[in-house]
Amino acid sequence: MSTTTPIPEVSELLATAFSNPQSAIVFIIQFLLGLALGYVAAKAFKYIIAMIIIIVIGTFLSIWSLGGSLSQVFETLRPMLDLARNFAIVLGIFTVTPIAIGFVIGVVIALFRK
């Protein structure tokens, strides 16, 4: 017999988070950390993107030079997708959401501020 825990709605999670002062303070600190991360990342964005593009192109060229097909590589990486999905679930909404919201706002501030 399999038992599963129902996933609460976002509104329930937020109400629970802000009803506890300690959770609210942690949420605010995580939001501010995300804001700082987003601001700094937006300032260095073009360099980060260039580095990622160079690494991806180099990887695909290496695969091509070794005679492997890209579909074969993607098929090999498919189990990692399940692992990544499970990892994201484990992190949970309380860990990622405040930092992600702060990150997006930090990026917007950095892009519009000269």
DSSP string, 35-74: HHHHHHHHHTHHHHHHHHHHHHHHHHHHHHHTT--HHHHH
Contact (Cβ atoms closer than 8 angstroms) between residue 83 and residue 11: no
What does the pLDDT look like over 27-70, one tens digit per residue?
888 889 988 888 888 888 778 788 888 888 887 777 667 666 66
Domain boundaries along the sequence of the chain: 22-112
- Dihedral sign from CA coordinates of 84, 87, 89, 92: negative
Using the predicted structure, report yes or no on whether residue 91 has a pLDDT greater than 70: no
Kindly report the average pLDDT of the chain as a whole number: 77
Buried b (16+ CB within 10 A) or exposed e, 58-75: eeeeeeeeeeeeeeeeee
Range with the lowest mean pLDDT among 1-5, 67-71, 74-78, 97-101?
1-5
What is the pTM (predicted TM-score) of this model? 0.44
